[in-house]
Amino acid sequence: MQHAKPLPALLAQRYHGWKATTHAENAAWYRRLATEGQRPKAMVISCCDSRVHVTSIFGADTGEFFIHRNIANLVPPYEPDGAQHGTSAAVEFAVTALKVAHLIIVGHSRCGGVQGCLDMCAGRAPELEEKTSFVGRWMDLLRPGYERMVARDLPAADQPRALEQEAVLVSLENLMTFPFVRSAVEARTLSLHGLWTEIGEGGLEYYDAEENRFLPV
The binding site for Zn(2+) comprises 47, 49, 108, 111
**Range 159-188, binding its own copies (CB under 8 A):** 169, 172-173, 176, 185, 188
Residue 156 binds its own copies (CB under 8 A): no
By CB under 8 A, which span of 56-64, 118-126, 150-158 interacts with its own copies?
56-64
Residue 158 binds its own copies (CB under 8 A): no
Residue 134 binds its own copies (CB under 8 A): yes
Q: Among candidates 99, 88, 58, which has minimal Cα distance to 195?
A: 58
Residue 213 binds its own copies (CB under 8 A): no
Per-residue contact string for residues 1-40; x = within reach of its own copies by CB under 8 A:
xxxxxxxxxxxxxxxxxxxxxxxxxxxxxxxxxxxxxxxx
Q: How far is the CB of 153 from its own copies (least distance, A)?
A: 21
What burial letters (b/e) apply to 1-36, b meaning 16+ CB within 10 Å?
eeeeeeeeeeeeeeeeeeeeeeeeeeeeeeeeeeee
Q: How far is the CB of 115 from its own copies (least distance, A)?
A: 10
- In order, the DSSP letters of 194-211 are EEEEETTTTEEEEEETTT
By CB under 8 A, which span of 66-74, 118-126, 143-151, 155-163 interacts with its own copies?
66-74
Q: Among candidates 118, 108, 109, which has minimal Cα distance to 145?
A: 118
Q: Among candidates 111, 138, 123, 119, which has minimal Cα distance to 198?
A: 111
